[in-house]
A and B are shown apart, each in its own frame.
Chain A
Amino acid sequence: EAQVTQNPRYLITVTGKKLTVTCSQNMNHEYMSWYRQDPGLGLRQIYYSMNVEVTDKGDVPEGYKVSRKEKRNFPLILESPSPNQTSLYFCASSWRVGRELFFGEGSRLTVL
């Protein structure tokens, strides 16, 4: 089954404790992206990647890191999480030039 898989789905952590949200897709998509969703703000792009070893900042990259060492994986790293990073996070992938994004199920992160 074609899918985008994120883990963990739910996480409560404390300020400053490094965490990684993994994202993996099995559709051989070149493009992958991370978004955060906050009430009234829609989905805002954090980082995106056009291909392996190619990443670019989105609209809200501060406090986040990403890497794209393999085509299928695009982890999101919070080196020192803060409460303002409490949010619902989505990973998505697609063909590089084209059409709809395929989304993961979302990861709800709470930073205390």
Chain B
Amino acid sequence: AQKITQTQPGMFVQEKEAVTLDCTYDTSDQSYGLFWYKQPSSGEMIFLIYQGSYDEQNATEGRYSLNFQKARKSANLVISASQLGDSAMYFCAMREDDMRFGAGTRLTVKP
């Protein structure tokens, strides 16, 4: 069975600094997708970034980048130039046929 591990229940970062949220996964499949979602206090789930297992380059979407290390089975999210609005829960997820999520990391951006 798939397993997604996020080891940081909570993280703090100073506004305008970069922060890395950790995610490791476990799978025996060769084909899978890795995702990050943001959940602000309002509760909705917002898709941030996707990385396919066969993609050789790390995915980037604006201030978000995914540091994909396939051999280590890690898919860390890097947020550059943090903003106050980045304060939220962040979930890592992996998809083979269905999608499974990690327990999440609560990020707080300090002014």
Instruction: Classify chain A's interface size.
Output: 20 to 34
Most B CB within 10 A of own CB, among A33, A41, A42: A42
CA distance A59 to B99 in the complex (A): 11
Q: Is residue A101 contacting chain B, with contact meaning CB distance below 8 A? A: yes
Query: Which of B44, B50, B98 is within 8 Å of A106, CB to CB?
Result: B44
Query: Which of A42, A43, A105 is within 8 Å of B43, CB to CB?
Result: A105
Q: Which residue of A lies closest to B48 (CB)?
A: A100
Contact in complex: A45, B103 (CB < 8 Å): no
Q: Is residue A90 contacting chain B, with contact meaning CB distance below 8 A? A: yes
CA distance A50 to B9 in the complex (A): 32
Q: Is residue A103 contacting chain B, with contact meaning CB distance below 8 A? A: yes
Contact with B along A22-38 (1 / 0, CB 8 A): 00000000010101000
**Interface residues, chain A, with chain B CB atoms under 8 Å away:** 31, 33, 35, 40-45, 48, 50, 56, 58-59, 88, 90, 92, 94, 98-103, 105-106
